[in-house]
Amino acid sequence: MSDAPAAPDGRPVDLRSDTVTRPTRAMRTAMAEAEVGDDVYGEDPTVLALEERVADLFGHEAALFVPTGSMGNVLAVRALVPIGRELLCESSSHVVRAELGAHAAYSGLTTRTWTHPRGLVDLDAVRSLYAPDLGPYFVPTGAVAVENTHNFAGGTVNPLAALQDLREWATGVGVAVHLDGARIWNAHVATGTPLREYGAVVDTLSVCLSKGLGAPVGSLVVGSRAVVDESRVWRKRMGGGMRQVGILAAAGLHALDHHVERLAEDHEHARLLAEAVGVDPAGVDTNIVVVPRSDAADFVLAAREQGVLVSAVGPTTVRLVTHLDATREQVDRAAAVLGRLAAT
Ligand SMILES: Cc1ncc(COP(=O)(O)O)c(C=O)c1O
């Protein structure tokens, strides 16, 4: 049985996001055959296996299966930051730009941001933003959130050494560190950094199975037993308690077995696209290319008319994302179309 997704002629090449992938046949088979139970009762053996495996991959005590990366971030951050404290993060990070105010709405925290052109940690900026607890006058800093890879900055990788420096400083001042690792797998494959080393520099992570790994749904909160126990309560409180979701966890386990190392192919495809549209491929770390275009919305429409779907992630920024469902032949086709458009 072929593991490749069916791609009928005439279907556009979809480079809007790596979330658009459809489960492969082999993944669907793994899902159909999964042992299941009631996960709210803690009785789904496939979910338990996934949680144990992912916790171990990052060298943490425990993990919790949640429906989305957004919920993963919200649960982890709320476990780290008491109400009325602040979260520091980069200004184009997903937690502050694309979670629709969830951290303020559910967890009662405020955010302050630093800006980095590649979305990376800037320890000097973090240090200057940091607010100690000076009594009931100022908002104290509770945690710093970093994103690896960074989505809106173009799939950029935070160097491990910078994360280690952040960890050391944060421990010294008593601030927690959360990693939005929706695409940590891409960082791992691009750099060869072991997942455990990323795990070692943070208190919590949220990692996604539904992006580059190609599962239809699912993310995990990773951290201490106490963080995960508390997150389990809040997951239920938020309406995220799920039942026989071993069928989804099975997709995640299949993805961990079969779809991690192949991310290197997506990275190569992204560099090809970058070259075609005049972006320096040396600046493309993983599977996302951001293309500065003053006419971003028009560029997206013109590409669509020629059978290539891309997205505008700002008025002057077009984003191309490679993934499991974009074959080399499709990427070559897209490169030709986008290259012509970029030249105009
Ligand atoms: C960096 C990052 N974090 C978190 C998320 C949220 O994931 P979800 O769409 O599953 O809520 C995304 C989604 O694309 C993302 O790119």
Q: Supply the DSSP symbol for 328.
A: H
Distance (angstroms) between ligand 1 centre and the Cα of 73 equals 9
- Interval 131-158: pLDDT, tens: 999 999 999 999 999 999 999 999 999 9
**How many Å separate Cα 272 from the centre of its chain?**
22
Distance (angstroms) between ligand 1 centre and the Cα of 77 equals 14
| CB of 199 closer than 6 angstroms to any ligand 1 atom | no
Residues 6+ apart with CB under 8 A from 299: 291, 293, 310, 312, 318, 341
Q: Report pLDDT for 11.
A: 84
| CB of 18 closer than 6 angstroms to any ligand 1 atom | no
- Site to substitute for ligand 1 among 94, 221, 286, most atoms within 8 A of C-beta: 94
**How many Å separate Cα 133 from the centre of its chain?**
31
Provide the β-strand partners of residue 221: 64, 206
Percentage of the chain with pLDDT > 90? 97
d(CA 79, CA 223): 10
| CB of 180 closer than 6 angstroms to any ligand 1 atom | yes
Q: Are 160 and 191 within 8 A, CB to CB?
A: yes
Average pLDDT over residues 249-263: 98
- Interval 1-42: pLDDT, tens: 334 333 445 789 999 999 999 999 999 999 999 999 999 999
| CB of 70 closer than 6 angstroms to any ligand 1 atom | yes
- Determine the 3-state secondary structure of 51 from DSSP: helix
Residues 6+ apart with CB under 8 A from 292: 316, 317
Residue 222 has pLDDT above 90, yes or no: yes
- Interval 40-72: pLDDT, tens: 999 999 999 999 999 999 999 999 999 999 999
- Site to substitute for ligand 1 among 70, 77, 89, 178, most atoms within 8 A of C-beta: 70
